[in-house]
Amino acid sequence: MDKSIYTEMEKEMKEVLSKLKSEFVVIRTGRASASLLDKIYVDYYGSPVPINQIASISVPEPKMIVIQPWDIKMLGVIEKAILKSDLRLTPNNDGKVIRLVLPELTSERRQELLKLAKKKAEEARVSIRNIRREYNENLKKMEKSGEISEDELKRSQEEIQKLTDKYIEEVDKMLAAKETDIMEV
């Protein structure tokens, strides 16, 4: 069996993990992180631009993010974008910088965030299983057309299952780490 098929499949599964990692980054935990703002875009002279491309973002304290736009006129636009986002943070604009103070997470909010993380992890598992199904179907077609033998089909399906198990285990590890992060008081 051609090894490039496994390589291609593994590449697709790694992309699923990468997407999950970026989705987990924006699920807010109790600590401040500049990456919380990664998915927030502002209207910069007619173009949607991420905040980090029009301002410097720093984390001077564990519960505070400071945003200092390079163009002072963007303060209001950034403030509105943060208010519209699902971060549930209230920006404090002093005319020069915007400060975001992260409140302590309530146990109810922690449960909501945990539920969201679990949902994202399950979506990743489903994507990985769909990749497995797609490759198994292709193998069955190859066996029907005589390109591979029945033994090769069985061996290949076992390899595909091993890869699938490996990546689902990675998703579970990522979820466990995020769960620890969210529940940390």
**Of 101, 123, 157, which one is at a domain's C-terminal end?**
101
CATH code (residue 133): 1.10.132.20
- Per the CB < 8 A criterion, the answer to whether 56 and 98 are in contact is no
Spatial distance between the Cα atoms of 8 and 43, rounded to a whole number of angstroms: 38
| Tens of pLDDT, residue by residue, the chain (185 residues) | 567 888 899 999 999 999 998 888 777 666 777 778 888 899 888 889 998 889 999 988 888 899 999 988 889 889 998 888 877 788 888 988 999 888 777 888 888 889 999 999 999 999 999 999 999 999 999 889 988 888 998 999 999 999 999 999 999 999 999 998 888 75
48 membership: H or E segment, kind and range: strand 47-50
Backbone angles phi, psi at 31, to 5 degrees: -105, 145
Residue 102's pLDDT is 82
Residue 181's pLDDT is 83
Of the candidates 73, 75, 147, 66, the residue with the CA atom closest to the CA atom of residue 101? 66
Backbone angles phi, psi at 55, to 5 degrees: -155, 155
Which residue reads 């910069």 in tokens?
Answer: 44
Domain that residue 85 falls in = 34-101
Question: Does residue 48 share a domain with residue 13?
Answer: no
Question: Does residue 59 share a domain with residue 23?
Answer: no
Residue 30's pLDDT is 67
Question: Does residue 120 share a domain with residue 71?
Answer: no
Residue 2's pLDDT is 66
**Of 101, 136, 160, which one is at a domain's C-terminal end?**
101
Per the structure, the count of domains in the chain is 2
